[in-house]
Structure 1
């Protein structure tokens, strides 16, 4: 039987910076659940695994690109 060794946990895109930065600037989070076709899920999961990325980090990055932060958003003004 072939033995497979797994390395350390994949690096997180949001894990850049110091531990103090991460702890000090932690914004509360909300869980977002979406349904995607199985074929899309497989493509995303496979590509993230090949690139040593975390799926959630990649999806957060895509959402940030599509919906950039704006000062108006903090005051409840629709964009």
Structure 2
């Protein structure tokens, strides 16, 4: 039995155009640079957050980000 090869399409490229400065291109894609935040939380809180996010189909990072924005506002 032979296997059928199916070509997979690649992601569309949104790379910088020829002659465009890469740093300027990257900067134009982000409104504001991100900073990583690592926190320790109790296992029970983590389990509740993870479960709730899974039920609602949300990423935990998005949920925490939205909660922080709600508390501290958008800048």
In structure 2, the gaps of 5 or more residues are 1-26
For residues 58-78 of structure 1, the C-alpha deviation after alignment (integer angstroms, 9 at most, x for no partner) is 1000000000135xxxxxxxx
Distance 1:24 1:53 in 2: 27
C-alpha deviation, 1:24, in angstroms: 4.7
Runs of 4+ displaced beyond 6 Å: none
Superposed CA RMSD: 2.1
Q: Select the structure with the greater relative contact order (CA < 8 A; seq sep ≥ 6).
A: 1
In structure 1, the gaps of 5 or more residues are 1-22, 71-79
Q: Compute the TM-score of the two structures, normalised by the length of structure 2.
A: 0.58
Q: Compute the TM-score of the two structures, normalised by the length of structure 1.
A: 0.55
Aligned to 2:64: 59
Work out which of the two has the higher radius of gyration on C-alpha atoms and give 1 or 2.
Answer: 2
